[in-house]
């Protein structure tokens, strides 16, 4: 007798599956029917993968109306709907090399379990860049273009032949004089907008007061579906061919590999991507993928991955198709710069300046090659703007591929029992009331004895760019403060081996190494000491700049605000912050203690510090716009150039970063339309100091 095991399903699992189905359905309708996408591809892919995983774990919940159970949506009705001669399948996605190898293992297992048509031992792969455009199916009869159809749902698409005829890279008549072809052939490829054309279109739309296209893919799709072919002609779409179907042709005369057919397409007068490659192994495919991960940024068009196909048509035929995908091809996508995840908690961190910074603690997600589980929410104003709550599904990104931040909340997926998050009125560490100045967005704890402030100041002092005290990690600092052994950075220089042995997991050898590292830090130069003091707005770059002018602590402590502001690259806010810090008696006492301990407060060989060998911004192009909080715009440009970066005055697809201040104008809009990474002044300085 067969025993059937009934697995109980939690209500939240069923709810999550239905939420995902609803959101994906809405996104598909907006993309395919309304031609007004509401979700980035990377976000859609992540949510789709989550739904796939849940349905695989709970197959009894699979429904016929799920987005995973059908090929696509119905085409729009502005054009005539026609059935494809040959169905256009989607491609299975892989998001890293491990998933690529899993795909390879899967097709090899299937081949080995069947009667082999061709040995897979020496299988070749054709790699082509995955162009971010709009798929087309072209039909030629006797070498003449007779039909151009959009992908639609893969079974039927829209007949846009008149628009296709305007694309100059699609020949109206093929070069077939020296080629033997069947009467009817079908060519598949991708229509796309080059980046310079895309930028020009958005500039024209901005002048006309029209909404801007979000990206070249949306612009290409919108262009193809223009009812007036003259508009399509003006927009100068381009086209790369990638598939050639030759139905009814004698097998002996038919090129039997993908590589040969790409060459035949080129001979026939169609554009084929010049960056294609024939690879002899999956390792060579991985090298191709990794090479274009960075080089694709220099291309004149957008690409979001690599299409990998088995070269042999015999193997392709043997493997066949699933309901949705060919088993012999895969789309190997690059790491997403944006990704969806769920907020599991909102924490409030207290930093060394007393600033309370809310942090979203999230379900871990892969983003730009790393695992991200936390993202800053900046301050109370940002929380209110986002209306972010515990339990929300959010889209996150890495600003400048460095700092995780929450872009927006997907309120369609918000649970019913969520409540707005409110910043605490008391410090979560010391319990003292917090304050918020009228001119600031930041809430602060002003208790200088707050353990969080003390720990933060010490962690900053011992950090790599400051005094660089090796072995003084976060856990050691936490114990030193909690046990009352250290209440300021000056106390570090009074530590003994006996005191350090009071710490957990601290032996004599480790204690001696730490004492030696503390002693070694006394030799760090004046610029590092100034940075280590943690004066507000004074990063490592600013510290170097200030100490070149004021070569001793005595000179700096006696300087007026106007003297400090007179330094090239220093604004009034920085100057006032430095001046005010030295007026506080407790800070003067700290300087005296550190001088007595033997720290360096005088620059050595000040005239030799002008050459900066740190060129961490080399190869990066910046544009600066708006009014920055502390730096003058020319000073920000000078800092960028000092660290090897290039500064230009106009935004283009070659711009890596836009440094944004208040009252930013058209440059910000253009950067947003091009997907250029935006940095605040604070993030720029973090980039320099990282």
Q: 427-444: per-residue pLDDT in tens?
A: 999 999 999 887 777 899
Q: Residue 61 is encoded by which pair of tokens?
A: 């919940």
Q: How far apart are CA 208 and CA 185, in angstroms?
A: 42
Q: Which range in 215-219, 389-393, 565-569 is most confidently predicted, on average pLDDT?
A: 389-393
Q: Residue 614 is encoded by which pair of tokens?
A: 């740190």
pLDDT at residue 610, rounded to an integer? 43
Name beta bridge partners: 330.
308
Q: Where in the chain is the domain with CATH 1.10.150.20?
A: 451-597
Q: How far apart are CA 187 and CA 172, in angstroms?
A: 13
Per DSSP, the three-state class of 678 is: strand
For the cut 50, the answer to whether the pLDDT of residue 313 exceeds it is: yes
CATH number for the region 621-689 comes to 3.40.50.10190
Specify the pairing of strand 403-409 against strand 144-150: unpaired
Q: How far apart are CA 465 and CA 487, in angstroms?
A: 22
Sign of the CA dihedral running 134, 140, 143, 145: negative
Looking at residues 415-420, what average pLDDT do you find?
A: 92
Q: Residue 453 is encoded by which pair of tokens?
A: 């402030």
Q: Which residues are annotated as a binding site for Zn(2+)?
A: 427, 430, 450
∠ CA 329-35-67 to the nearest 5 degrees?
50
Of 162, 141, 142, 136, the C-alpha closest to 84 is 136
The residue that leads in pLDDT, 479 or 369, is 479
Q: How far is CA 409 from the centre of its chain?
A: 17
Looking at residues 288-295, what average pLDDT do you find?
A: 91
Q: Where in the chain is the domain with CATH 3.30.470.30?
A: 92-333
For the cut 80, the answer to whether the pLDDT of residue 34 exceeds it is: no
Q: Decide if domain 451-597 falls under CATH 1.10.8.10.
A: no
Q: How far apart are CA 277 and CA 58, in angstroms?
A: 40
Cβ atoms of 226 and 162 within 8 Å: the answer is no
- Determine which one of 130, 276, 398, 637 is catalytic: 130
CA distance readout (Å), 468 to 1, 444, 452, 613: 70, 27, 20, 19
For the cut 50, the answer to whether the pLDDT of residue 72 exceeds it is: no
Percent of the chain with pLDDT over 90: 42
For the cut 90, the answer to whether the pLDDT of residue 307 exceeds it is: yes
Q: How far apart are CA 212 and CA 36, in angstroms?
A: 12
Quickly count: other Cβ atoms within 10 Å of residue 521's Cβ. 25
Specify the pairing of strand 338-350 against strand 393-399: antiparallel
CATH number for the region 338-418 comes to 2.40.50.140
CATH number for the region 11-61 comes to 1.10.287.610
∠ CA 574-576-577 to the nearest 5 degrees?
65
For the cut 60, the answer to whether the pLDDT of residue 611 exceeds it is: no
Cβ partners under 8 Å of residue 660, min gap 6 = 625, 626, 668, 678, 679, 680
For the cut 60, the answer to whether the pLDDT of residue 3 exceeds it is: no
For the cut 90, the answer to whether the pLDDT of residue 606 exceeds it is: no
Cβ atoms of 311 and 317 within 8 Å: the answer is no
pLDDT at residue 65, rounded to an integer? 67
Q: Residue 556 is encoded by which pair of tokens?
A: 């700096």
Q: Which residues are annotated as a binding site for NAD(+)?
A: 41-45, 90-91, 128, 151, 190, 309, 333
Banded pLDDT at 402 (limits 50, 70, 90):
low
Specify the pairing of strand 184-192 against strand 238-245: antiparallel
For the cut 50, the answer to whether the pLDDT of residue 19 exceeds it is: yes
pLDDT at residue 310, rounded to an integer? 97
Q: Decide if domain 92-333 falls under CATH 3.30.470.30.
A: yes
Q: Residue 637 is encoded by which pair of tokens?
A: 């440009």
For the cut 70, the answer to whether the pLDDT of residue 118 exceeds it is: no
Q: How far apart are CA 512 and CA 501, in angstroms?
A: 10
Q: Which pairs with CB-CB distance under 8 Å and at least 24 residues apart come from 264-269?
A: 264/179, 265/187, 265/241, 267/175, 267/178, 267/179, 268/171, 268/174, 268/175, 268/176, 268/179, 269/171, 269/174, 269/175
Lowest mean pLDDT among 81-95, 445-459, 595-609: 595-609
Q: How far apart are CA 556 and CA 559, in angstroms?
A: 5
Whether 83 is catalytic? no
**Residue 487 φ/ψ, nearest 5 degrees:** -120, -5
The residue that leads in pLDDT, 37 or 603, is 603
Cβ atoms of 88 and 154 within 8 Å: the answer is yes
pLDDT at residue 370, rounded to an integer? 67
Q: Residue 514 is encoded by which pair of tokens?
A: 């730490």
Q: Residue 367 is encoded by which pair of tokens?
A: 């983003």
Mean of the per-residue pLDDT values of the chain = 85
């Amino acid at each position: 007798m067969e025993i059937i095991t009934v697995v109980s399903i939690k209500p939240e699992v069923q709810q999550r599956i239905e939420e995902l189905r609803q959101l994906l359905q809405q996104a598909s309708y907006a993309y395919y029917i309304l031609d007004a996408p509401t979700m980035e591809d990377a976000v859609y892919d992540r949510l789709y993968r989550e739904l796939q995983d849940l349905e695989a774990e709970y197959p009894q919940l699979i429904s016929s109306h799920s987005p995973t159970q059908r090929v696509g949506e119905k085409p729009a009705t502005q054009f005539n709907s026609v059935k494809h001669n040959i169905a256009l399948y989607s491609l299975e996605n892989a998001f890293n090399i491990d998933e690529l190898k899993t795909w390879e293992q899967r097709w090899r297992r299937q081949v080995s379990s069947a009667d082999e048509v061709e040995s897979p031992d020496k299988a070749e792969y054709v790699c082509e860049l995955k162009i971010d455009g709009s798929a087309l199916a072209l039909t030629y009869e006797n070498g003449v273009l007779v039909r151009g159809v959009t992908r639609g749902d893969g079974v039927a698409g829209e007949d846009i032949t008149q628009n296709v005829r305007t694309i100059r890279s699609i020949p109206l008549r093929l070069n077939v004089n020296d080629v033997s072809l069947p009467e009817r052939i079908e060519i598949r490829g991708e229509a796309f907008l080059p980046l310079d054309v895309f930028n020009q279109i958005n500039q024209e739309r901005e002048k006309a007061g029209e909404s801007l296209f979000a990206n070249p893919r949306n612009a290409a799709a919108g262009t193809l579906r223009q009812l007036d072919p003259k508009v399509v002609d003006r927009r100068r779409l381009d086209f790369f061919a990638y598939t050639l179907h030759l139905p009814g042709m004698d097998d002996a005369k038919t090129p039997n590999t993908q590589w040969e057919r790409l060459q035949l397409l080129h001979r026939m007068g169609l554009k084929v991507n010049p960056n294609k490659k024939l690879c002899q192994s999956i390792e060579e495919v991985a090298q191709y993928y990794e090479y274009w991960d960075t080089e694709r940024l220099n291309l004149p068009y957008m690409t979001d991955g690599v299409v990998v196909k088995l070269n042999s048509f015999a193997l392709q035929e043997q493997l066949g198709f699933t309901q949705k995908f060919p088993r012999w091809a895969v789309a190997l996508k690059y790491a997403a710069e944006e990704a969806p995840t769920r907020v599991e908690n909102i924490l409030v961190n207290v930093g060394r300046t007393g600033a309370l910074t809310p942090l979203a603690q999230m379900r871990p997600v892969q983003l730009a090659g790393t695992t991200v589980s936390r993202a800053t929410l900046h301050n109370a104003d940002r929380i209110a703007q986002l209306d972010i709550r515990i339990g929300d599904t959010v889209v996150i990104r890495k600003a400048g591929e460095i700092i995780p931040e929450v872009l927006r909340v997907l309120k369609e997926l918000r649970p019913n029992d969520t409540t707005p998050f409110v910043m605490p009125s008391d410090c979560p560490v010391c319990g003292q009331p917090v304050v918020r100045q009228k001119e600031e967005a930041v809430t602060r704890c002003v208790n200088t004895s707050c353990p969080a402030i003390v720990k933060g100041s010490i962690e900053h002092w011992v950090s790599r760019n400051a005094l660089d005290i090796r072995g003084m990690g976060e856990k050691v600092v936490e114990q030193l403060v909690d046990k009352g052994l250290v209440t300021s950075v000056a106390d570090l220089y009074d530590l003994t081996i006996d005191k350090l042995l009071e710490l957990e997991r601290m032996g004599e050898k480790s204690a001696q190494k730490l004492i030696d590292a503390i002693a070694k830090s006394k030799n760090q130069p004046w610029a590092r000491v100034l940075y280590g003091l943690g004066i507000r707005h004074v990063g490592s770059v600013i510290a170097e700049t200030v100490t070149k002018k004021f070569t001793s602590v005595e000179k700096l402590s006696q300087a007026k605000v106007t003297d400090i502001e007179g330094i090239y690259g220093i604004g009034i806010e920085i100057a006032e912050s430095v001046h005010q810090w030295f007026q506080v008696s407790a800070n003067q006492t700290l300087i005296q203690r550190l001088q007595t301990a033997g720290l360096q407060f005088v620059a050595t060989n000040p005239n030799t510090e002008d050459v900066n060998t740190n060129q961490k911004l080399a190869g990066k192009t910046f544009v600066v716009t708006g009014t920055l909080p502390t730096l003058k715009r020319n000073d920000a440009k000078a800092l960028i150039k000092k660290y090897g970066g290039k500064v230009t005055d106009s935004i283009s697809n070659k711009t890596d970063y836009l440094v944004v201040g208040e009252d930013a104008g058209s440059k910000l809009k253009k950067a947003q339309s091009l997907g250029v990474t935006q940095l605040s002044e604070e993030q720029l300085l973090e980039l320099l100091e990282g």
